[in-house]
Structure 1
Amino acid sequence: MTTPSFTIPQSDPPLSSRQSLPTMYDLPSDNPLEPGLPDEFHLLQPQLLLLTFQPPNWEPDLVFSAADLNLYYNVRHPQWYKRPDWFGVVGVPRLYDGHDLRLSYVIWQEGVSPAIVVELLSPGTENQDLGEELRQPEEPPTKWTVYEQILQVPYYVVFSRYTNQLQAFELVDGHYQPVTLVEGRLPIPPLELSLGLWQGSYRGIERLWLRWLTLEGELIPLADEELIAAKQEASAAKQEASAAKQEASAAKQRAEQLAARLRELGIDPET
């Protein structure tokens, strides 16, 4: 949604950033020195966000979201990246250049910043995720700085599985401001969606999950939920049809019994 402004060194004649800077094919998509996912929740929760991120005002082929994918953000330091637990983008092709699965999300190639970033708090990253960790000299900027000042991501959300606390921030005049949730949800009008907590079962795990909903608070259904709902609707329709058939049969039987009684009394039921 946000298109950040970048100043890059120019050649003569000037080259575009797509020509002069590394592409996702040139940049590493993983780092063997970094640990993997801290727990199973960091696998399942982003999956649920990815599957329910369906902005109704955008065509599906112009919506991209990813979990644990390198996000390259600095044209002057093209090797620097952050790896959000989940982020969503609108206004870019679902596939890179319209034909390939992404290895990473490279901002100077894509030209569009994420509309929202979600970080799942864990003991080792909580201070950085909440912007409470100071940047050390000669080190890359913190996540908070990257999302707020460099990429200017409009919405930033952090969620703790340990406390079930959802904290949301909106970019206002270049700085993140805490957002007061509406009935426990974060409304995002530009996406015609809201993000909130849902008590339910996902992949057989019953707990409180972070999940996408409509602005009115209705769940964005998963494919299996849609199938179950369709089966239930078909079953209900079948039961209604059966009940109507039984009622019609009973009404016919009552009419026949009444006609027979009238004949016994010498009355023609047809007159």
Structure 2
Amino acid sequence: MVYGDRTAPWQKPLPTMYDLPSEDPEEPGLPDEFHDLQPALLSLTCKPAEYWPDRCFTATDLNLYYDSRHTNWYKRPDWFLVLDNTPSTDQETLRWSYVIWQEGVIPYLVVELLSPGTETEDLGLTQRKSGKPPTKWEVYEQILHIPYYVVYDRYQNRLRAFRLQGARYQEQLLPDRRIWFNELNLGLGLWQGIYDRRDGLWLRWYDAQGNWIPTPSEQLQERDEELEQQRQRAQDAEQKAEQLAAYIKSLGLNPDEIKPPEQEV
């Protein structure tokens, strides 16, 4: 007969990152690296052709207050886009939160990144408990009437998009894992590549020609590559000119005295 647990503390397996998702049990899974990187890529590549930068506001993990009768109720989208609303222009006016009754403009699009602790709520599979605030799905669909709701599951590499039609969200068909937004003249899709030195399948924006919108660092890299190609072409042209001059000299001629033939008019 064994009385009690005689296993030494150092022999017991320590909890992993999956066992300790957050110090706050009310908010499991906050924060993690992916929820920092992916929203940043969305903001860097969100360049609607129909809107100037000062008419688009994007936010990551910002409290969204939606009911003036219950001022302590909020949701915290992983990422959202607001059209026709001005971003802060200086440090002092940076938002602490997004308050609907103060801003007067609802988000156009909300993106949620699925994680094991939030999956059921993000997909609208949870029921509102008595005496508790409405669920995330209820807020987006029935209270704020946000036009588009996108959910990305990086574990299953699955992108789902919902469009508000009437009073309910209708899931959109995404045969190529992309969704186009006519109002923005932009699309959102899954891109396989390296972002911030991490290889993976990322959610990012693309233009009407199907080209992925580059980040500022990618633009600099493209510019540097183009400059390098120009330098290489100039070096090749110079080398060929030198070889031609050497060949002309080998024929006993002076390259400087040779004139190109005149063009016929």
Taking only aligned residues, the RMSD between alpha carbons, in angstroms, comes to 2.4
Distance 2:159 2:213 in 1: 19
| Equivalences for residues 1-271 of structure 1 within 5 A | 34-35=26-27, 37-95=30-88, 100-181=93-174, 183-258=176-251, 260=253
SS of aligned partner of 2:113: strand
Alpha-carbon shift at residue 72 of structure 1 (Å): 0.5
Q: How far apart are the structure 2 equivalents of 1:96 and 1:244? A: 48
Deviation at 1:97, TM superposition (A): 10
CA displacement, residues 225-244 of structure 1 (integer Å, 9 cap, x when unaligned) = 11111110000011111212
The letter for the 2-side match of 1:103 is: W
Letter in 1 for 2:174: L
Q: Give the number of the structure with larger relative contact order, counting CA–CA contacts within 8 Å between residues 6 or more apart.
A: 1
Question: What is the Cα deviation at residue 184 of structure 1?
Answer: 2.0
Please say if residues 214 and 220 of structure 1, whose CA atoms lie closer than 8 Å, have aligned partners that are also in contact. yes
SS at match of 2:129: coil
For each residue in 1:76-122, what CA deviation from the matched residue of structure 2 results, as whole angstroms up to 9, or x when unmatched?
22221100011111211111899610000001111111111011111
Instruction: Give the gaps of 5 or more residues in structure 1.
Output: 1-31, 262-268
Q: Gaps spanning 5+ residues in structure 2: where? A: 1-23, 260-265
Q: TM-score, normalised by structure 1?
A: 0.78
Shift of 1:254: 3.7
Return the alpha-carbon distance in structure 2 between the equivalents of residues 97 and 240 of structure 1. 44
Q: How many residues align?
A: 232
Query: Is the 1:188–1:215 contact (alpha carbons within 8 Å) kept by the matching residues of 2?
Result: no
Q: Distance in 2 between matches of 1:183 and 1:122?
A: 23
Please report how far the alpha carbon of residue 256 of structure 1 lies from its aligned counterpart in structure 2 after TM superposition: 4.2
Using a 3 Å threshold, how does the CA distance of structure 1 residues 221 and 97 change in structure 2: closer, same or farther?
Answer: closer
Q: Supply the distance in 1 between the matched residues of 2:141 and 2:189 (Cα, whole angstroms).
A: 22
C-alpha contact 1:96 1:102 (8 A) present in aligned 2: no
| Matches of 1:181 and 1:77, distance apart in 2 | 37
- Closer, same or farther: CA 254–144 of 1 in aligned 2, 3 Å: same
